[in-house]
Structure 1
Amino acid sequence: MRRLIFLSLMLFGTVLHAQTTVSGKVVDENNEPVIGANVVLIGKAEGTTTDFDGNFTFNTSEQPPFQLRVTSVGFSEFIADVTSNNQTLTITLSQSSTILDEIVISASRTPERIFESPVSVERFGLKDIKNTSAESFYGGLQNLKGVDINTNSLTFQSINTRGFATFANTRFLQLVDGMDNSAPGLNFVLGNLVGMSELEVQSVEILPGASSALYGAGAFNGILFMNSKSPFDFQGISAYAKTGITSQEAAGDNPYYDLGIRAAHAFSDKLAVKANLSFLSGEDWHAISELDLANPGADRTDPNYNGLNIYGDVVSTLLNFDAAAGLPTGTVGSANISRTGYAERDLVNYNAESVKTDFSVYYRPFADDFEIIYQGRVGRGNTIYQGANRYAVRNFNLQQHKIEFRNDNFFLRGYIVTENAGDSYDTRFTAININRRWKSDTQWFTDYAGTYIPTFLGGIQQGGLSREAASEAAHAAARIAADTGRLLPGTPEFQSAFNAVTADGDLTTGSRFIDNTKFRHVNGNYNLAHLINDWADVQVGGSFREYELNSQGTIFTDLDGPITYNEYGAYAQLQKKLLDERLKFTGSVRYDKNEFFDGFLSPRVSFGYTAGAMRNHNIRISAQQGFRNPTTQDLFIGLNAGTAILVGSAPNNLDRDIRTFNVSQSGQDLIGQSTVDIVGRAAYENAYSLTSVLTGAPEAVTTGVVKPEEITTFEAGYRGQIGKFTVDLSGYYNRYKDFIANVTVLVPFYGTAGDNGLSLLALQNGDRQAYQTYTNAEVDIDSWGGTIGVDTKVFGDFDLGVNYTYAEFDFDKARFPDFETNFNTPKHRVKASFGNTELFKNFGFNFNYRWSDSFFWEATFEDGDVPAYTVLDAQINYTIPSIKSVFKAGGSNLLGDEYFQAVGTGNIGAIYYVSWTINP
C-alpha cells in the first residue's frame, strides 16, 4: 500500500507546465503597505498573499490576458488587468469593509474565497497576528467565532470546536505545514507548546466540525491548519522580544518572557532556506484548591479528606476499630480514613517553558512552482497536563521531520513524529509513593488505629466526652501519631524521596512518565483540473500511517517491546461551478481502514449558491458522514491511575494487563489465598457497574470492546455583505453513533459477577478493583448549535465585530448512567472586538471581549461546575516603518477577575506585556 501511494502520486506529480509570473505591491491610500492582502485569479481558485512590505509574487499556468482580484479586510476590492508575463503591478486599495474575499485552502484542499467555502471556516492572517490583543497569536484564536480554548496551563492551551472536549482532545486535529503534530503517545495536541513561532506563521485556518471526507479519522470535530512562510517570499532576519508579568492571587506577580528570531534567504530562484528559534518562559498558574468535591464543606480535619489539588489522600481504607481491638461491634465503631496528602505546589515547579526550533530547505529544480522541501521541527517544553491525574510535563520533546514534493497541482509528503516524555511525572503518584517510601500504607493505618482506639475510649471513660467529641479528638491524635516523622516539603529527606520517586517509571513505587512513541505518515494529493481543461476541480489522494508504541510498560502494555499497527485511506473530490458560476457543487468520498476494524466510507456533499446582482450573498448547505478510530490509548493502555486501572480494549490487549492484588483477611478465609491475579479482560467480562454498587443494587455488566465512532452531520449557512455589514452565520446538527466512551466498573477479586454469592462477598469485603474500560455508548448522542458574526465599520474607520455561539447536546442518560460525554462546552458564548488599525499615522489599538456561560465539566480527573466568566483583552501598537518595527503594549484579562475553564486547574490570572517586533 505504501509503495502504491508513493508511485501513483509521484506519477501524477511529474506533469509540469509553463508558468506566468506576476509581481507587485499593494498599498493603501497613504502609500503604506497592505499586509496579508489576497491576490486571486478571477474565475479560478488560485491566489497568494502580500508580505509585510505589501509585496507579492503570483505564479499560474493561465496565459495572459487575465484579471486578478485584490482584497484585504477593511478595503474595497481592486481588479487588476494582467496582459503579459513577468508584469509588475502597483495596486492602491481604498478603505471599505469586507472579509469575504480572504483565501483559504483547508475547506476543499484548494484555494478558494471564504465567501464560497462549502463549510464553515475561520481564518487568522498576518494582519490578525499583528493586531491580536492576546499575549500570543495562538491565544488570539479564542476570539474567533465558534472556537473554544481551554487553558490547561500557561504553555498548554487546548483548542476545541463544537463540544466534546477535554484537555486530551483527541477529536481535534492540528496540522503544521501539513504535519499532524499530535503527541503520538498522548494522541492529542499540546497546544502550541511545540508548534510554530509567530514569526513563521503566514496564516491559521480552522475548520469547525467533521472533515473526515478529506482528512481522515482524526478530522472529527475540527481541524486547525498552521501554514508557514516560504523563504522565497519572506526573506531576511525577523525577531521579536516580549516581556511582562503574569499576575495571579495564588502565585503573585512573576516575570514573563517570549523571544523569537527567524532567518530566511533565497540563494537563487532555485534554492532557499529558513530557520526559526523561539523561547518562552513564565510562571504557570498555580492550582491550590483544597475543596473536597465528594464531601463539600470538609477540610483537612476530616478523617477521609480528599482535596482537589491535594495528592496522596486518595489512598483511603475502611478501618474497623472494633475488629482491630477485638471489641464487640459498636464499641468504637469504624471509619473511612485517608492518608495525609501533599499540596500540588509542594510537588511541582511551576516554571512554564517552551523552546521551538525548525529548519527548512526549499529547492526548485526548474525555477518554477515545483518544489522539494525538507523540514525539521524540534520542540521542548515544560507544562502541566491534566488528564486522569495532573502531570508535570518536564523536558517534553516532540520532533517532526518531513520530505515533501509539490507544485500547484499536487503534493506528496512523508514525515515522522516522535515524542520523548523527558522527565515528566504524575503528581498524584508522586505524593502516594513519597508517603509509601517513608512508611507503608499498612504500617500507617496500623499506627492510626493504634492511637485512635485508646484515645477514643479514654475520652469517653476518663474525659466524659460525647462520642462525637471523643471521635474528633481521637482522629486528630491518631493522624499526628501516624504522621510522626513524615517527610516534609523543603527538607533534604523529602527532596531525596521526591527525586527517587520521579525517576522511577514503576507506578507501584514511582511516578515517572516514560514515552518514546512515534508514528510515520505518508500522504499525497493530486488536482486533475488542468488535465481536463478545468472542466471541474477534481482531486484524488491517499495516506498511510504506522504507529509504534513504546512506553516500556509504563503507559501501554508494551513491557515485551514496542507495539506497532497501521491504518490507511484514499479519497476523491469533485468541485464544479454551474449557472453562470453562481452554483458551486462539492462532492467527496474517502475510504479508511485500520488493521483492527472494518473499512469506513466518509462521503460529503455540499451546495453553495451566490445570489444578488453584486454577487454579495452566499447560501450553503452540506451533509457528511465521518468517523473516528479509537486512539492508541483506547486500544493499548495499561495504566494504574490511582482511582482506577485503565485497560485498552484492542483484541490482543485484554490479556496483556495482569496485576496482583492483596486479599482482605475475610477474603483469605473464603478462598484460602492472600493474593489474586486479575487479567484486564475481567474488566470487560467479569465486573459490576460502578453506579449499581454505589446505589446498593450491584448489577453485573459485560462491556463491549471499543470500535470506531461515527458521525452524521448537517450544516447550513449564509455569508454576505449587507451595506456596511459583513454577516456570517451557520447552524449544524450532529448525530453520533458508537460514541467512544469510558465506563468505570468494579472487578471482584473472587467469584463471578452476577453469581449472587462469592462475588458479592468480595464487594462487601472491599476485595474489588475499579477499572476504566474503553467502549462505545449504547445510545446515540445528538448535538446542535450555531454561530453568527457581524463585522462593520463605525465612527468612520473603527472596526467593530460581534459574534455569538450556541451549543447543546442530548442523550438518554437513563439508558447509560455510567457514561460521561465530556461535552465541556458552554451553551452560550459572546465575543466582541473594537479597534482601529490606523487611529492616527502608524498607531492602532484593539479591544477583545469574551463572555462564557457556566457549564458542567466532566473529565477523568474530576467533575464539577465551571462558573460563567468575562474577559477583556486589549493592546496598542505603534509602527516605525524606517526600522521595520512594531511596538506593542497589551494585556489579557485586564479586568483581573480570575477564572478557570476546567475543574482542577489553576485560576487564570492576568498577563501584561510589551513587545518589539522587527520584520524586514
Structure 2
Amino acid sequence: MRTILFLALVFVGGFAFSQTTINGNVVDQNGEPIPGANIVIVGKAIGTTTDFDGNFVLQTSEVPPFQLSITSIGYTDGQESITSNNQTIRVVLSEAQTFLDEVVISASRTPERIFESPVTVERMGIEAIKNTASADFYGGLENLKGVDVNTNSLTFKSVNTRGFASFANTRFMQLVDGMDNSTPALNFPIGNLVGMVETDVLSVELLPGASSALYGANAFNGILFMRSKSPFDYEGISISIKRGITSQESAGDNSYTDVGIRAAYKFSDKFAAKVNFGYLKGTDWAATSEVDKFDPTRTRADLNYDGINVYGDEVSADIKDVAVTLEGLGILPAGANALVPSQEVSRTGYNERDLTNYNAESIKADWGLYYRPIEGSNLEFSYVGKVGTGSTIYQGTNRYNINGFFQEQHKLEIRDDNFFVRGYVVADKAGDSYDMVFTGININRAWKDDNTWFGEYTGTYVQATLSGATDEQAHAAARAQAESGRFLPGSPEFQSAFNRSINNPDLSTGSKFQDASKYYHADANYNFSELIDFAEIQVGGSYRRYNLNSSGTIYTDFDGPITYNEFGLYTQLQKSIALQNEKSLKLTGSVRYDKSEFFDGFFSPRLSAGLSLNRNHNIRASVQTGFRNPTTQDLFIGLDAGRAISVGSAPDNLDRYTRPFEVSGGGQDLGQPASIEQTGRAAYENSYTLSSVERLGETGNPADLEIANPDIINPEQVTSFEVGYRGKLNKLVIDFSTYYNSYKDFISQEVVIAPYYGTVGDGSLSIAAISNDDFQAYSAYTNSDADVNSYGASLGLTMKVLGDFDLSGSYTFTKLDFDREANPDVMLNFNTPEHKFKASFGNEELFKNFGFNVNYRFSDDYFWEATFGNGLVPEFHVVDAQINYSVPSIKSSFKLGANNLLGDEYFTAFGTGFIGSMYYLSWTINN
C-alpha cells in the first residue's frame, strides 16, 4: 500500500509540475489553417502537431521563458517566444514552395502533403477561390485538371471525372463537411443550387476515379469534398456582392445578382457559432433548338416532327391504323383506309420558352453551433443545419422546370483529432416543379384529346383525297382541321390549361413533379495513430436508410413511402518506410465491405504505393476496386416519360407498376380484348430489343426480331489501375497520371419493346402485336454483359514565368473501349470529350494590391447519349478573365470578371440551352 501511495504521489507531483500549457493556431499568409505543422521547444525533444484546423495544445514541464520552433513542409520556419504559462499564440507561416506542399485530407482520410498522396487529387484553397475567373467557386472547378463540368442550366452544373457523365450523375459523390448533399428525390447532387455559400468555403478537394474503398457506393467515378470555415478560427462578418449581366442570343441581356453573407463569433474558447446566407438571381440559358431529335434533316413542316426543345410533338400515330379503327367503328366508309398511307404523324408542339420563364434563383442558409468542453482539447460537439430553395432547369428523361425546390439537412457530430461520429438527415420537397414535356402534351390534350385530334386529321385526309387533292395538299388540309381551335401561347385558354397541368401530378392529364423523400445517414471513423506506432490504422463505417415518397409520380410508391437500407464497414492501414538517400516509401492498403438489403455484400479493396525519391519527386501506383449499388431510380422508378416507360428492377417493383393499354382493331380481330393491363414485368420477361424491332420495320422479316428480356439489376463493379508522378524540375511543377478502368456488370438503361399479347419468340402472336403497333416501349434498368473499359491520362504543368507570373496548363485524354456495333441497345452515357486542354495565366500581385487571371478551356467534340436524346456536342473554346484590386483600409477586394469573354456560344450536353457570356463586378468585405 505504501508503494502504491508513493507512486501515486510521484504521479500527482509530476502532473502538478508539468503545468505550462501553450495554446496556439498556425495559419498561412491567407489565414488558412495549416494541419500537421510541427511545434517543438527549441533545444528539446518536446513538441506536438496541429490538428485539421491548425490548432495545437502543448503541455510541458519547461518553465518560461523559452522558444518554440514552428515548421511545416512547404512553408518558411517560424519562431515564437513563450514568456508565461497559459499563453495563446497565433503563428503565420509563409509559403516557401509550390502547391505540391499543400495538405489534403480526402485521399487517405488523414492530413498529408498532396505530393505524397497515394492517388490523384485536385485542390482549390482560399487563394485559388479568390483568384478564379469564374463567377463563383463552383464554376471554378471547370479549370481543374481532368474535371468535366456539364452545364445543365445557370444554377445547375454537374461535376464529373473520367467519363460516364450525365446530369443524373449517380456515379459521383459530393460532400459538404462530411454530409452528402445528393437530393433524396433524384439520388444525385444538383450542383451548388442548395449547397455552400462562397464566403464560408475553406477548401475544395476532388478525387477522380473510384474511391469506394473509403467512401462507399456512390464514390464510383470520383468524389468532391467541400470544407467550411470554423467559427473558432474565422470570426467576424464577411459579405460578398456580385452584380452583372448574362448575355445570350436567345434570351438577350439579363441582370445577375449573387450575394453571400457569413457571420461567425467565438463566444469563448469553448463555444462558437456561425450563420451563412446566400441569394442568387438570374435568367437561365434559354433552350430554343427546333432541330428534330431523331433526324436533323426534318423541319417543323415534316409530318412526324419531334423538335429537341419543342414539347407535345412527342405524341404521334400511324394514320393508317387510325383509318382502320375509324372504318371499323363506321365513322369512315368501307374501304377508306385504302386511301390512307402508312404514315406516322405527330401533334404540333409548344416551344420550351412558352412553357417556362427561365427564372434562375437560389436562396440558401446554414448555421452551426460548436462546443469544445475540454480546455486544451480539440474534442468538439456540433450541430449544423442547412436549408435551401431554388429554381432551375433539370434535364433528365425529360426537361423539368425545378421551381421552388426545397432541401434541408441537419447534422449532429462529435469529433476529435483521431475520430468522428456523425449522423444527419437530408429531406427534400419538389415545390412547384413540373415536367415541361408533359406540360406541352397535356395542354394539347386539354384542348383536344389524342383520339379526336388524330381522328379529325385522318378523316380530313380521306375527304381531301376523295376530292382530288394531292398527298401534300391532303396532309395540309388535315393538319389545318385538326389544329382548329388550338390554344395559342399567351391566350387565356393556354394559360388556364398550363396552370391546370403544372398543378396536377397525374401524367395522363398533368405534369407536376411531386416528392417529399428523405434519407438518414450515419458514419464514423477512428484513427489509431495515437495508440499504435508501427502504422497508421483507421476503421470506420456508415449506414443509410432511404425513405422514398413521391406519391407515385416518380417511384412506384403510390401506396405509401418505400424504405430500404444499406451499410458499409472499412479499414485502412498506412505505413511510411524511410529508405536511403532521402528516399521513402508509403504503402497504403484499405478494404471496405458494403451491403444493401437487396443484394449480396461486396468487398472493395485498394492498394497503393508512393515512392518519394527526394523532396521533389514522387512516383505513385495504385490498384483499387469500386462498386455502386443500383440507385433509388434504378430500383423503384415507375415513370411514363412519353417515348418509353422507365421501370426500376427491384424484385418487388416489377409488378408495382401497372397500366392499362388499348388494343388496336387488328389485335381485336385476333381475339384480343379491347384493353389489356400490363405490368413492368413485361419489360424484363417478355420483350424484344429495340434495334431488332426497328430492323423488322425496315425488312418485314420476323427472323430479325431478337428477344431482350434484360436481367434484374445487380451492383456494378470496377477495377482501376493508376500510375502517376508528381515532381518539381527547377521552376516547373509536373503532375501526371494515367489509368485503366475495367467494368463488370455495367449498369445501364436498355429500351425494349413489350408486345401487349403473345410470348416473345412464339413466331406468331407477338409478331402480330408488333405489326399492329400493339406494344409498349420500356426503359429497363439492367447490367450489361458487354465488355466495358475506359482509359486515359492527365498531365498538368505549373511554373513561374517572367518573375512572379503564374502559368499553368493541363491536357486530359479520355477514351471509351466498347464495341458499339455489337451492343446497339446498351446506353453507356460516356459523354466525355476525348481531348481537353486548359490553361491559366495570371499574377496575384501585378502591382500593389492588384492582380489578374485568365483561364482558357478547350473541349474536343463528343457524342452525348442520354434518355432525353442523343447528339453531337461540337468542340468549343472558352476564355474567362478577371482583374482584382484590394483595399486593405476598408478590408475589401473588388473583382471585375467575364465568363466566355469571346462570346462564342456553346453547349456541353444535347438538348440544353447554349451557354452565353457573363460579366460581373464583385465586392467582397472582410474575407
**TM score, norm. by length of structure 1:** 0.92
Q: Aligned pair count? A: 877
Q: 2:749 aligns with which of 717, 739, 742?
A: 742
Counterpart among 14, 36, 45 of residue 32 in structure 2:
36
> Separation in 2 of the partners of 1:855 and 1:867?
7
Unaligned runs of 5+ in 2: 1-17, 40-46, 697-703
1:602 to 595, 601, 604: 604
Q: Which residue of 1 aligns with 2:674?
A: 674
Q: CA deviation at 1:689?
A: 0.7
1:78 to 73, 76, 90: 76
Question: 1:450, CA displacement in angstroms?
Answer: 2.1
Q: Is the 8 A contact 1:685 1:702 kept in 2?
A: yes
Say whether residues 1:405 and 2:414 are aligned partners.
Answer: yes
For 2:400 and 2:638, the matched residues in 1 are separated by: 17
**Secondary structure at 2:239 match in 1:** strand
SS of the equivalent of 1:682 reads helix
Q: Deviation of residue 62 (structure 1)?
A: 10
Cα-to-partner distance string for 1:418-455 (whole Å, 9 max, x where unaligned): 11111111011111111111111000011111222222
Residue 813 of structure 1: SS of its match in structure 2? Answer: coil
Partner residue of 2:394 out of 365, 385, 390: 385
**CA separation of 1:62/1:410 partners in 2, compared to 1, >3 Å: closer, same or farther?**
farther
Which whole-Å CA distance do the structure 1 matches of 2:658 and 2:817 have between them? 37
CA contact (8 A) 1:717 1:729 kept: yes
Q: Are the counterparts in 1 of residues 164 and 831 from structure 2 also a CA contact under 8 Å?
A: yes
SS at the partner of 2:903?
coil
What residue in structure 2 maps to residue 5 of structure 1?
A: none
| Per-residue deviation, residues 367-392 of structure 1 (Å, max 9, x unmatched) | 32011000000010100000000011
Q: CA contact under 8 A between 1:853 and 1:867: conserved in structure 2?
A: yes
Identity of aligned residues (%): 57
Name the counterpart of 1:128. 128
Distance 1:560 1:37, change over 3 A: closer
Tell me the secondary structure at the aligned position of residue 695 of structure 1. Answer: helix
The one-letter code matched in structure 1 to 2:605 is P
Structure 1, 708-717 or 77-86: larger mean CA deviation: 77-86
Q: Output aligned runs, 1:147-546, within 5 Å.
A: 147-320=147-320, 323=324, 324=327, 325=332, 326-327=334-335, 331-367=339-375, 368-460=377-469, 470-532=470-532, 534-546=533-545
- Cα offsets for 1:511-533 (capped at 9, x unmatched): 1111111100010000111012x
* Per-residue CA distance 1:238-272 (angstroms, 9 max, x = gap): 11110100000000000000011111101111111
**Do 1:885 and 1:916's aligned partners in 2 also have CA atoms closer than 8 Å?**
yes
1:83 and 1:827 map into 2 onto residues whose CA distance is 56
- Give the CA deviation at 1:759: 0.7
Q: Which position in structure 2 is the counterpart of 1:558?
A: 557
Deviation at 1:81, TM superposition (A): 5.2
Amino acid at match of 1:271: F
Q: Name which of structure 1's ranges 670-679 and 882-891 shifts more when overlaid on structure 2.
A: 670-679
The verdict on how the C-alpha distance between 1:625 and 1:865 changes in structure 2, with shifts beyond 3 A counting, is: same
Aligned to 1:818: 825
CA contact (8 A) 2:52 2:111 kept: no
Please name the residue that 1:7 is paired with: none
Once the two structures are superposed, the pairs formed by residues 630-641 of structure 1 within 5 Å of their partners are 630-641=630-641
Structure 1 residue 92: Cα displacement: 6.2
Deviation digits for residues 45-75 of structure 1, max 9, x if unmatched?
965689xxxxx6445799999854346xxxx
RMSD of aligned Cα (Å): 2.1
1:45–1:110 contact (8 Å) kept in structure 2: no
TM-score by length of 2: 0.92
* Aligned-partner Cα distance in 1 for 2:71–2:427: 42
Amino acid paired to 1:592: D
| Kept in 2: contact 1:725–1:790 (CA 8 A) | yes
Structure 1: which 5+ residue stretches go unaligned? 1-16, 28-32, 51-55, 461-469
CA–CA distance in structure 1, aligned partners of residues 58 and 656 of structure 2: 57
Give distance in 2, aligned partners of 1:21 and 1:823. Answer: 55
Q: Tell me, in whole angstroms, the C-alpha distance in 2 between the residues paired with 1:778 and 1:568.
A: 27
1:792 and 2:794 are equivalent in the alignment: no
Cα distance between partner residues in 2 of 1:513 and 1:24: 49
Question: Which is worse superposed, 451-460 or 678-687?
Answer: 451-460
Match of 1:899 in 2: 906
1:584 equivalent among 583, 586, 595: 586
Q: Distance in 2 between matches of 1:619 and 1:381?
A: 45
Q: CA deviation at 1:721?
A: 1.2
Tell me how far apart the structure 2 counterparts of residues 21 and 703 of structure 1 sit (CA, whole Å): 66
* C-alpha contact 1:606 1:620 (8 A) present in aligned 2: yes
* CA shift in 2, pair 1:621/1:794, >3 Å: same
Amino acid at match of 2:32: G
Label 1:39 to 1:570 Cα distance change in 2 as closer, same or farther (>3 A): closer
* 1:93 equivalenced with 2:82 (yes/no): no
Q: Is the 8 A contact 2:388 2:408 kept in 1?
A: yes
* Partner secondary structure for residue 915 of structure 1: strand
- Distance in 2, matches of 1:527 and 1:728, equals 29
For the Cα contact (< 8 Å) 1:45–1:113, is it kept in 2?
A: no
- CA distance in 2 between counterparts of 1:297 and 1:554 reads 35
Structure 1 residue 701: Cα displacement: 2.2
Mapping of residues 47-86 of structure 1, within 5 Å: 47=50, 57-59=55-57, 68-70=70-72, 77-80=75-78, 86=87
Indicate conservation of the 8 Å contact 1:97/1:793, yes or no: no
Q: Would the aligned equivalents of 1:628 and 1:710 in 2 still touch at CA under 8 Å?
A: yes
What's the secondary structure of 1:677's corresponding residue?
A: strand
8 Å CA contact 1:45–1:112 kept in 2: the answer is no
Give the conservation status (yes or no) of the 8 Å contact 2:442–2:509: yes
In structure 2, how many angstroms separate the alpha carbons of the residues matched to 1:21 and 1:327?
A: 100
> Are residues 39 and 843 of structure 1, via their aligned partners in 2, closer, same or farther at CA, if it must alter by over 3 Å?
farther
Deviation at 1:458, TM superposition (A): 2.8
Deviation at 1:700, TM superposition (A): 1.9
In 1, the alpha carbon distance for the partners of 2:428 and 2:679 equals 29
Aligned residues of 2:26 and 2:92 also touching (Cα < 8 A): yes
Q: Which moved more, 1:414-423 or 1:359-368?
A: 359-368
SS at structure 2 position matched to 1:199: helix
Note the C-alpha offset of 1:752.
0.7
CA shift for structure 1 position 39:
5.5
User: Which residue matches 2:102?
Assistant: 102
Post-superposition CA distance 1:178-224 (Å, at most 9, x none): 00000112011000000000011000000000111100111100000
Q: Distance in 1 between matches of 2:709 and 2:100?
A: 53
CA distance in structure 2 between the partners assigned to 1:528 and 1:889 by the alignment? 48
SS at match of 1:554: coil
Pick closer, same or farther for the CA change 1:62–1:538 going to 2, 3 Å. farther
Matches within 5 A, 1:129-144: 129-144=129-144
User: 1:40, CA displacement in angstroms?
Assistant: 3.6
Which secondary structure state, in structure 2, belongs to the residue aligned with residue 437 of structure 1? helix
Aligned-pair distance for 1:335?
1.7
Partners of 1:38 and 1:101 within 8 A in 2: no
1:864 alignment partner, one of 853, 871, 874: 871
Question: Is the CA contact (8 Å cut-off) linking 1:332 and 1:457 kept in structure 2?
Answer: no
CA contact (8 A) 1:39 1:69 kept: no
The answer (yes or no) to whether the contact 2:323–2:458 under 8 Å persists in 1 is no
Please state how far the C-alpha of 1:82 moved relative to its aligned partner: 6.9
CA distance in 2, matches of 1:18, 1:149: 54
Give 1:317 shift: 0.4
Kept in 2, the 8 Å contact 1:286–1:907? The answer is yes
* Contact kept? 2:312, 2:437, Cα under 8 Å: yes
Q: Which residue of 1 aligns with 2:15?
A: none
SS of equivalent residue, structure 2 residue 493: helix
